[in-house]
Amino acid sequence: MKLLVIGGGGREHAIAWKLARSPRVQCVYVAPGNAGTGVEEGVVNVDLPSIEHQVDFARTQGIAFTVVGPEAPLAAGVVDAFRAAGLRIFGPTAAAARLESSKEFAKSFMLRHHIPTAPYAVFDEPAAAHRYLDGVGAPIVVKADGLAAGKGVVVATDVQDAHAAVDRFLVGRSLGHAGARVVIEGFLAGEEASFIVMSDGRATLALASSQDHKRLLDGDRGPNTGGMGAYSPAPVVTPALHARVMREVIHPAIAGLAAEGTPFSGFLYAGLMIAPDGTPSVLEFNCRLGDPETQPIMMRLKSDLADLIEAAIDGRLDQAEAAWDRRVAVGVVMAAAGYPDSPRSGDAITGLPPPTNDRHVFHAGTALREGKVVTAGGRVLCVTALGDTVRSAQQAAYAGVEAIRFNGAQWRRDIGHRATGRSAH
């Protein structure tokens, strides 16, 4: 069968790579893809600039099903459009995707369904927001309501920073309409984990646990980014915590969306803060796989991803099971000069190591120019490797990183440090 993946980042490269390994799959089209998907065996890039083009392509090419990577097309209703055309697609409708596209919707939904999350208040008026901040003080978190590609959250340790964020979002409209409303929420301390499941609207199948590193610099310092690396499994997610998150977060979310008439089919990602006493709280929901979490997760998935997604599309996920490589996977992101503020494009990339069974370089912001691979985005590559221990996976990933050259490349030297700190490995 022929499949279509929508998106062009590292997450989509990993999804397409994994789907192409299915014996039942002849070709995976990726729209638009990147230089990495362009050379992947069994994968073909296609330029489909609108939802109409995508629907048309899926129909005329006889695409068996489509998988959506990023949040923007989901929020724009790509799933609704495919379904209306009678085409099979895996992802939530625009209504269900509000769990990510509106922080206010997500917070009120969690309150309605007793899902643990930080206390919050919502503001459209700067004066009211400033008064509220003066009352609660710092530390405090200010979030733009809408989709802001990782730029919409300010964790303020000083209340002046929170006031400044309110002014930037509500008055200066630095994020446009996405910041026309803000959610101010209580600060949560602890360790973060990414908890990702597949759902068919009713049943759920948990993926392997993972954790990403959001800050630009070693030691979790510097500005927030989309994620500078990730690893799987995340030792913080013990079997007991896993059971608790399914019971307190995932099941109520899936049941709640179904009860509200907007069942969630797709990948559901809960960004969790695990308090020192082990209590999980939801920082955010994403209605898609995480990037770069997907890259290590796909390296560890032994089951056929096409089978799992088909089971979910058909509403048979309760009968599906996923098998995982017991090894550790570590993915190190190489970012462009100037990332995250103003990434530079067009730097030539050399030294890309050929794939092995245990290591794969997933491309994100790359393009082919006159036959050469060049940088074309903030996060450029994610070098992902398997190892028997966290350390051996790190060594294999970093050996790949060291071989790759492009001007101004930035990467963290400590991806996976929380896992090595925690286990005997």
Residue from the set 185, 192, 291, 304 that interacts with ligand GLY by CB under 6 A: 291
- Please report, as residue ranges, which positions from 201 to 220 form the binding site for ligand GLY (by CB under 6 A): 212
- Site pattern 353..392 for ligand GLY (x: CB under 6 A): ----------------------------------------
Quote the strand ranges of 201-342, DSSP E: 204-206, 211-212, 215-217, 221-224, 229-232, 265-274, 280-286, 328-335
Residue from the set 63, 97, 106, 141 that interacts with ligand AMP by CB under 6 A: 141
Nearest approach, Cβ of residue 277 and ligand AMP (Å) = 16
Angle between helices 103-112 and 251-259 in degrees, nearest 10:
100
Give me the residues paired with residue 122 across strands.
183
| Count of CB atoms situated within 10 Å of the CB of 266 | 27
CB-CB contact of 234 with 419 (8 Å): yes
Q: Could you say whether residue 293 binds ligand GLY (CB under 6 A)?
A: yes
Q: Which partner in ligand GLY, ligand AMP, none is near 18 (CB below 5 to 8 A by kind)?
A: none
Alpha-carbon span 169 to 130, nearest angstrom: 12
**Which residue in 335, 307, 334 sits closest to 322, CA to CA?**
307
Nearest approach, Cβ of residue 214 and ligand AMP (Å) = 5
Q: Which partner in ligand AMP, ligand GLY, none is near 187 (CB below 5 to 8 A by kind)?
A: ligand AMP
**Which residue in 283, 285, 207, 281 sits closest to 248, CA to CA?**
281
Residue from the set 33, 116, 152, 227 that interacts with ligand GLY by CB under 6 A: 227
Residue from the set 155, 246, 255, 258 that interacts with ligand AMP by CB under 6 A: 155
Nearer to ligand AMP, 15 or 156 (CB): 156
- Give the DSSP letter of residue 181: S
CA angle (409, 415, 420) in 5-degree steps: 155
Q: Which partner in ligand GLY, ligand AMP, none is near 155 (CB below 5 to 8 A by kind)?
A: ligand AMP
The two structure tokens encoding residue 207:
């993926």
Q: Could you say whether residue 192 binds ligand AMP (CB under 6 A)?
A: yes
Residue from the set 286, 384, 394, 410 that interacts with ligand GLY by CB under 6 A: 286
Q: Could you say whether residue 220 binds ligand AMP (CB under 6 A)?
A: no
